[in-house]
Structure 1
Amino acid sequence: MIIGIPRESHAGETRVAATPQTVGALLKLGYSVVVESGAGDASTFADTAYVEAGASIGDPWAADVVLKVNAPADAEIAALKDGATLVSLISPALNPELVEKLSARPITVLAMDAVPRISRAQSLDVLSSMANIAGYRAVVESAHAFGRFFTGQVTAAGK
């Protein structure tokens, strides 16, 4: 089975659906990974890092499974091969038109933001993961803007 990692098409997006480290983990599980050239550039992952991890650089839209961070654009929906599985943030309740476009294609879509937020699915909870990162970054940037040392012990958790 081939997993495709495309370059994110939303302006200003710096995330990528897989790092070279996660590519290595996917390969150990027996998958092949195809990464679009430049997919990791905004996250400081060069194509060479993906190749060194064992991925090939090519067309991710021909893969059996496509991993994306953001919902696909119309051109990306059209590029998915018939029978493919798309794993991405979709926000189905907020994007009924997108859901309609996706359902018109013979593909399977897994909306990662629709995974139930329960203990059994905790490892799949991308919303909490992104909120955790955003909160950590907010504390670091606030400390930088504050201009002097914080008193006591202040961590990203606020303690």
Structure 2
Amino acid sequence: MFFISLFFPVAALAATPTNFDVDFKKISAAPLSPAQGISFEKLRGKVVLVDFWASWCTPCKEALPHYNRLYKAYKDKGLVVIAVNEDDDLKERDAFLKGQKFDFYIYQDQDRKMLGEFKVQALPTLYVFDKNLKPVTFYRGFGPDKPALLEKTIQDLLK
């Protein structure tokens, strides 16, 4: 089995989304799709979105198709989307994924290590990292205004 090495757990979250530090520390999660995952080296120089989600979370399921659209639109310009699943019920997760066609990377946080390192307090939570893998912003929850705000952030970071 292959594992992803992500080196950006969030050390602390302050009141301002961009006011948090990243302690580059190895975190592993099991890749679900594509099966080989992506290595840390391939993230360098890319804008990276890391989304935490679960199949029981309605806003999570609403957000994922938007992230897929953004990934397809901007992957050739340097966008990487990594969706980290937090389901306990893997059958429920698999049933949800079976009915979807996502092109981005999907991982399972088997031991909840990433959830803890990123200090995720609610699902969905999305972190945005610039080409230097520095955190730019994060979003908790999902609403109708988020796709446009996120797309603008991505466009600015890819310039």
TM-score, normalised on structure 1? 0.32
Larger radius of gyration: 1
- Greater per-residue helix proportion: 1
TM-score, normalised on structure 2? 0.32
Q: Which is bigger in relative contact order (C-alpha 8 A, separation at least 6)? A: 2
